[in-house]
Structure 1
Amino acid sequence: MSDIYINAFSICSRLGMNREETLQSLNSKSPPRPDRVEELAGGLTTMVAPLSGALPSDLSSETRTNQITGYLLREMKQAIADTLAKHGADRVAGVIGTSTTGVEEAIGPLGQRVEKGVWAEDFEFSRQELGDTARYLQEQVGFSGPCHTVSTACTSGAKALAAAARFIHSGIADAVICGGVDSLSRLTTNGFSALDSVSPHACAPFSKNRCGINIGEGGALFIVSKHEGPWKLTGWGESSDAYHMSSPEPTGAGAELALKEAFERASISASDIDFVHMHGTATPLNDAMESTLVNRVFGTHTPCASSKGMTGHTLGAAGALQVAINIIALDAQILPPHVYDGQRDESLAQINLAPLQGKPEKPMRRMLSASYAFGGSNIAVIIEKTN
């Protein structure tokens, strides 16, 4: 099969509104943290991680998820125009990973429906359907190839990249605009609170004090094709545990299948990976599983980190965001830092957590990003610098 390249990308999150701001945050002595208090049902609170900057006001007529998508598309405006000109609108496709779409915007109209018995005249149910952001993506870009949503919770954004590669390998498209986007929603924060999975403080992956996640928002979009670009989508692997609806399989056996498939597709071994971007949610069960897995597959020397101590858990955008952070770190030859409270859980399997302003011992070429979702959905993505 042909090599798959990433020709362009855009990113926004708590770390910054573009790649330059994101790099500055990654290389800072004091990276951003989830810092906004969100009130929850039952008098509880949690921290959330909103975008670091404001979105353009002319995007305000859309849902916030679509506003973030529109912003990311503008960040790649010239690259998108070049892609359409090169391949033609009918040979460009789209895949978007998301989970929230317009759910937050439906809360107010739903309250009116409960109170008054009628929906507001301007309420559009389609805005909260999972396909709405894919519709918006296609309308904004103007391509006529296939376009769909991947919604597999926390693996959605990474799976969009794998789906894009399959589009290209199958001949369905020559180029694909893909990635993941999600926005903050009270439904999400309260839902995770009902599962006893949110932290009232800034989350602390792999800490002895970890007690749950902080929800974040943001996303990353990519243009992928068979035409050589600065970065290669070297390998990816997917698996499903079918173990439990919300808890990971404790040994990481299913997750390891995804890693091994990614290695096989890339024709490399674990020793060829220069950095492991972990899922690292800061929940007791996920971190226990993942440290066991990383120790078993990569040992204690390979640098690794979870970025969720900075970005929060961006759900459907998380996997795409991790891949974009890996690209930025590869270009700058820095290690994405593992940001937490510094109180490491010594009962977990030993792994090499990257420090603030960390530098690699040798030039980095390949980075792996891992994402694990509800329902046992697993994916690993390997990115390689081509020059």
Structure 2
Amino acid sequence: MRYSGQMPSMLPPLAMTAFTATSAMGTGLEATRAALHARRGGLAPCDLPGMPEGIWVGRVPGLEEVVLPEALARYDCRNHRLAELGLRQDGFEQAVAEAAARHGATRVAVVMGTSTSGIAETELAYAGRDADGALPPGFDFAHTHDLYALPRYVRARLGLRGPAIAISTACTSGARSFLEAQSMIAAGLCDAVVVGGVDTLCRMTLHGFNSLELLSRAACRPCAADRDGISIGEAAGFALLVRAEDAPGGGVALLGAGASADGHHMSSPHPEGLGAVAAMRAALDAAGGGPVDYINLHGTGTRANDAMEGHAVRALFGDRVPCSSTKGWTGHTLGASGALEAVIAAICVADGLVPGCLGVETPDPGFGVDVAVENRQAPVRRVLSNSFGFGGSNCALVIGQA
């Protein structure tokens, strides 16, 4: 449908000249694309030590074997190993190097989203305290757990010298990196931005969600009538954003972004989805009010969150736009989810793909929207990708043809 409404002053679209994603679906774009088309999810029973029993997670295999460059060894932690693995894929490093050569390393910024950063390293440090309670002497909080450690690592790893910013707005963090990049380029602070999100599995996250009784005891099934909770995953998603005039030849672009903060409750969404509607409306307006061909739902698999989003989507679109959640493939990757799903949206645009929810036979009839449960091939010119987080943080992106 075409959204009509009062048009705000719009920031210009940004070309996504390079992007990549690594998750439980696979490492890099081709593995991610193949998993989507084959409807092959990456969720499995959790085999990490010290975690709640009987849960499923979206684990990226092989992180324990990833080695950071020797000069950056002080950054070593699970989160930066996942960032390193992601940065090596799909020619992303080379694309950033070309941008730095064109604009100068000081004119390429880094904006990274994460919810827990390298907290797993702090968990290990606390487990290794001595008899007096002192942390191990080798523990380096600033370069591992600190939220700013992630953008510092990415900037150093890519040889950049522009601004570096950490975004930690719960599960909207990765999506917010795109919105902040748009504002920074429009303000003249930089000419290109490396955006994205990285979050990894850790005891605090899994035990925390377990204490809230939100974890599914099987692979999560967002939008299902009998859904029973979240599966937590880990992921790294990156994109390089530049002005459209600096990327002739078209391709995929960030067409618009919108955000809101409804402050309804620390962990529960507004039941009528008022904040979600505001964020989606802002993104649609920013993108020029054009048509949307697919909605990538935040779709976590919990009763309350999915019901709220169904209500919000119905309020804006009725049942005329197909929608689904891809968290059945990856799990909820928290601060990385918005960046990961922006890359998935770009794949959907390139491939003309509407990925139907995994493992869902009967969508919740109370949603009143068109929930895809099987893959559909159709022209996908624009995707609305939603991210909603604890504390009432809401963000929506419009990804589409440049």
Question: For the superposition of Structure 1 and Structure 2, which TM-score range results when normalised by the shorter chain?
Answer: over 0.9
Question: What CA distance in whole angstroms lies between the structure 1 residues aligned with 2:339 and 2:20?
Answer: 10
Unaligned runs of 5+ in 1: none
Alignment-derived partner of residue 15 in structure 2: 5
2:369 maps to which of 336, 351, 359: 351
The SS at the match of 1:262 is helix
Answering whether residue 291 of structure 2 is matched by residue 282 of structure 1, we say no
Preserved contact between residue 112 and residue 165 of structure 2 (Cα < 8 Å): yes
Q: 1:334 deviation in Å?
A: 1.3
Question: What CA distance in whole angstroms lies between the structure 2 residues aligned with 1:356 and 1:122?
Answer: 50
Question: What CA distance in whole angstroms lies between the structure 2 residues aligned with 1:4 and 1:39?
Answer: 39
Answering whether residue 357 of structure 2 is matched by residue 338 of structure 1, we say yes
The SS at the match of 2:128 is helix
Question: What CA distance in whole angstroms lies between the structure 1 residues aligned with 2:235 and 2:57?
Answer: 12
Question: What CA distance in whole angstroms lies between the structure 1 residues aligned with 2:216 and 2:49?
Answer: 11
Answering whether residue 77 of structure 2 is matched by residue 58 of structure 1, we say no
The SS at the match of 2:240 is strand
1:203-352 aligned at under 5 Å gives the runs 203-226=220-243, 227-228=246-247, 229-269=250-290, 272-346=291-365, 348-352=366-370
**Percent identical across equivalent pairs?**
36
Q: Which amino acid aligns with 2:221?
A: A
Preserved contact between residue 247 and residue 374 of structure 1 (Cα < 8 Å): yes
Q: 1:4 deviation in Å?
A: 1.5
Q: Which amino acid aligns with 2:252?
A: W
2:88 maps to which of 28, 53, 74: 74
Q: 1:153 deviation in Å?
A: 0.8
Q: Which amino acid aligns with 1:63?
A: C
The SS at the match of 1:27 is helix
Question: What CA distance in whole angstroms lies between the structure 2 residues aligned with 1:41 and 1:238?
Answer: 36
Question: What CA distance in whole angstroms lies between the structure 1 residues aligned with 2:222 and 2:77?
Answer: 31
Deviation sequence 1:2-50 (CA, Å, 0-9, x none): 432111111111111111111111111x421411225798964311111
Question: What CA distance in whole angstroms lies between the structure 1 residues aligned with 2:281 and 2:251?
Answer: 25
Question: What CA distance in whole angstroms lies between the structure 1 residues aligned with 2:132 and 2:64?
Answer: 33
Question: What CA distance in whole angstroms lies between the structure 1 residues aligned with 2:172 and 2:12?
Answer: 24
Answering whether residue 105 of structure 2 is matched by residue 84 of structure 1, we say no
Question: What CA distance in whole angstroms lies between the structure 2 residues aligned with 1:318 and 1:32?
Answer: 16
Unaligned runs of 5+ in 2: 1-10
The SS at the match of 1:79 is helix
Structure 2 CA distance for partners of 1:118 and 1:103, relative to 1, 3 Å = same
Provide TM-score, normalisation by structure 1.
Answer: 0.93
Q: Which amino acid aligns with 2:123?
A: I
1:370-381 aligned at under 5 Å gives the runs 370-381=386-397
Question: What CA distance in whole angstroms lies between the structure 1 residues aligned with 2:12 and 2:338?
Answer: 23
Q: 1:224 deviation in Å?
A: 0.3
Alignment-derived partner of residue 121 in structure 1: 137
Provide TM-score, normalisation by structure 2.
Answer: 0.90
Deviation sequence 1:99-124 (CA, Å, 0-9, x none): 12111122122022275522212111
Structure 2 CA distance for partners of 1:173 and 1:286, relative to 1, 3 Å = same
Answering whether residue 58 of structure 2 is matched by residue 49 of structure 1, we say yes
Q: 1:56 deviation in Å?
A: 5.8
Q: 1:333 deviation in Å?
A: 1.1
Q: Which amino acid aligns with 1:182?
A: D
How many residues align structurally? Answer: 380
Question: What CA distance in whole angstroms lies between the structure 2 residues aligned with 1:151 and 1:57?
Answer: 25
Runs of 4+ in 1 over 6 A off after TM superposition: 39-43
Preserved contact between residue 171 and residue 335 of structure 2 (Cα < 8 Å): yes
1:8-23 aligned at under 5 Å gives the runs 8-23=18-33
